[in-house]
């Protein structure tokens, strides 16, 4: 394994002026999106995906990834200064970050969030580099039965980790799979569920679905809560945390990085979950848990580190196995497909420039983000002053143009609006969109591998349990399911505790 050669190639790719520019644009937009409440990185990525059709796959992935980890940085700013999370992964940062701001320590809070993110980002990129390659070697031996089992395990864990109800999450997963089957059946060439609508023959696009669920639905939801945002007026002072701050924070940052990275690898383990787990861990580890919620710097350092690490963690299964584990990864997966790159164990050997270019760009992006965020903080505070009533119509406008531009047809806009309304109602009725999006993206792969397995075995389901790897994966999935029903009571108690923090 020629690590240094590879990483050197990666940096050569990243340092090409064009890619450098896209990395910067990605980080910049990401920070902007992170700072603005009302739209999250997923909505932004799906709006911007059509723009990347014309640029190279490497540049496009660098740009889109930049938006995601950039948003993790930007989200903390809003949480700390306004007590409103800029995006979901910064919810817990509000608890102690805002309190720190009220005590006149907004500067160090922003500083530790940025430095913690930087350290965690760097750590997790290194871990990503060392873990993906061997895992993809291992996955090369996977056949259709293994992939079927892997997707079943992935979806089981994903629904297990769902915040609301596992049954609803399973329903959403089934619905996502069903949506994936609209269009031409790849094995027989028959059209399915199109009902004469020509726009449906190629299947429903991931972009109108994602824009609807994460863009339009968010606008509709924000119409209910016409809350006024009040920015906490404070002198930001300097960003450098004191010696004592560092002493308090280095352990949370380390733990947060590790927790975040491994949670990111697990299906359904997104940045939001990582930040919650990190916060709970810090509170438990602390000798003064009573300080949490009253401006403890550990409560900012840990979660902000872990949400950054989680994004890089999610890259491991995406690049090694071709399995996205979060909505963020699902959109990168879709972006790769749009550019004609098949995600899977062959991606790294066949397109080393994409993987290593992305890894190198993430090192660099983390440095850029420090520069974008800390010295320019004044500008981001100004951005926060843009009222929602101007922002929301504009977000909707961008969604419409984005959906239209993807295929130059208004049909996609109608599809987007449909999923916007559906997504809004789903939020109201406590259904989560994540399992649906992931099932939708994995749907074709799942169907092909399952049907191929059954063909291989002559219609015998034993093929899934007679091969050691797929047997192991299925047993794990069964264990997860069983543990859900066994530990259901405890989970509920735990949930109550979590909501109280």
Binding positions for other proteins, rule: CB under 8 A: 51, 167-168, 170-171, 174-175, 177-178, 181, 185, 187-188, 190, 192-193, 219-220, 223-224, 388-390, 392-394, 396-397, 400-401, 404-405, 408, 410, 413-414, 417, 420-421, 424, 428-431, 446-447, 450-451, 454-455, 458-461
For residue 95, which phi and psi values (nearest 5 degrees)? -55, -55
Contacts of 38 (CB under 8 A, 6+ apart): 218, 219, 222, 388, 391, 392, 395
Which CB atom, from 201 or from 394, has the smaller least distance to other proteins?
394
Closest separation in Å from C-beta 436 to other proteins: 11
Closest separation in Å from C-beta 156 to other proteins: 13
DSSP state of 103: T
Which DSSP string do the residues of 364-426 spell out, in sequence order?
HHHHHHHHHHTTTHHHHHHHHTS-HHHHHHHHHHHHHHHHHHHHT-THHHHHHHHHHHHHHHH
Which CB atom, from 89 or from 217, has the smaller least distance to other proteins?
217
Which CB atom, from 21 or from 167, has the smaller least distance to other proteins?
167
Closest separation in Å from C-beta 171 to other proteins: 5
Which DSSP string do the residues of 332-351 spell out, in sequence order?
HHHHHHHTT---STTHHHH-
Q: Whole-angstrom Cα distance, residue 117 to residue 298? A: 13
Closest separation in Å from C-beta 429 to other proteins: 4
Which CB atom, from 15 or from 461, has the smaller least distance to other proteins?
461
Closest separation in Å from C-beta 245 to other proteins: 41
Closest separation in Å from C-beta 494 to other proteins: 21
Contacts of 376 (CB under 8 A, 6+ apart): none
Which CB atom, from 192 or from 491, has the smaller least distance to other proteins?
192
Let me know: does 362 contact 121? Beta carbons within 8 Å: yes
Q: Whole-angstrom Cα distance, residue 501 to residue 493? A: 13
Closest separation in Å from C-beta 24 to other proteins: 19
Which CB atom, from 309 or from 417, has the smaller least distance to other proteins?
417
Of 407, 402, 427, 451, the residue nearest 181 (C-alpha)? 451
Which CB atom, from 188 or from 198, has the smaller least distance to other proteins?
188
Of 154, 38, 2, 49, the residue nearest 405 (C-alpha)? 49
């Amino acid at each position: 394994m020629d690590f240094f050669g590879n990483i050197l190639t990666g940096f050569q790719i990243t340092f090409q002026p064009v890619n450098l520019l896209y990395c910067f644009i990605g980080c910049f937009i990401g920070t902007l999106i992170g700072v603005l409440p009302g739209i999250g990185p997923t909505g932004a990525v799906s709006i911007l995906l059509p723009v990347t059709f014309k640029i190279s796959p490497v540049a496009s992935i660098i740009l889109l990834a930049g938006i995601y980890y950039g948003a993790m940085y930007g989200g903390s700013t809003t949480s700390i200064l306004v007590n409103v999370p800029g995006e979901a992964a910064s919810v817990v940062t509000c608890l102690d970050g805002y309190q720190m701001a009220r005590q006149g320590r907004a500067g160090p809070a922003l500083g530790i969030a940025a430095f913690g993110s930087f350290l965690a980002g760097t750590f997790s990129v290194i871990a990503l580099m060392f873990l993906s390659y061997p895992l993809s070697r291992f996955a090369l031996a996977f056949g259709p039965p293994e992939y079927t089992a892997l997707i079943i395990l992935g979806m089981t864990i994903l629904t297990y980790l769902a915040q609301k109800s596992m049954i609803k999450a399973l329903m959403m997963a089934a619905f996502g799979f069903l949506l994936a089957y609209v269009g031409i059946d790849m094995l027989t060439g028959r059209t399915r569920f199109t009902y004469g609508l020509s726009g449906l023959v190629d299947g429903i696009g991931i972009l109108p679905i994602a824009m609807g669920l994460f863009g339009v639905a968010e606008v509709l939801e924000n119409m209910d809560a016409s809350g006024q945002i009040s920015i906490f007026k404070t002198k930001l002072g300097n960003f450098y945390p004191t010696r004592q701050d560092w002493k308090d924070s280095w352990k949370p940052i380390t733990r947060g990085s590790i927790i975040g990275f491994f949670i990111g690898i697990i299906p359904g383990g997104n940045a939001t979950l990582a930040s919650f787990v990190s916060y709970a861990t810090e509170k438990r580890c602390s000798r003064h848990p009573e300080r949490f919620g009253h401006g403890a710097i550990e409560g900012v350092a840990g979660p902000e580190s872990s949400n950054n690490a989680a994004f890089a963690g999610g890259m491991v299964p995406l690049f090694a196995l071709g399995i996205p584990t979060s909505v963020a990864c699902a959109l990168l997966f879709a972006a790769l497909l749009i550019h004609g790159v098949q995600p899977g164990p062959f991606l790294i050997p066949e397109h080393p420039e994409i993987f290593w270019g992305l890894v190198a760009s993430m090192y660099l992006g983390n440095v850029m983000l420090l520069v974008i965020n800390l010295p320019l903080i004044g500008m981001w505070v100004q951005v926060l002053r843009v009222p929602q009533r101007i922002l929301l119509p504009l977000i909707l406008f961008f969604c419409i143009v984005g959906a239209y531009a993807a295929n130059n047809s208004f049909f996609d806009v109608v599809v987007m609006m449909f999923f916007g309304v559906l997504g809004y109602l789903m939020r109201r009725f406590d259904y989560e969109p994540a399992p649906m999006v992931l099932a939708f993206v994995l749907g074709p792969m799942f169907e092909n591998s399952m049907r191929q397995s059954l063909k291989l075995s002559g219609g015998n389901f034993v093929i899934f349990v007679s091969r050691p790897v797929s047997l192991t994966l299925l047993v794990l999935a069964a264990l997860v399911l069983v543990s859900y029903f066994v530990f259901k009571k405890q989970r509920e108690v735990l949930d109550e505790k979590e909501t109280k923090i």
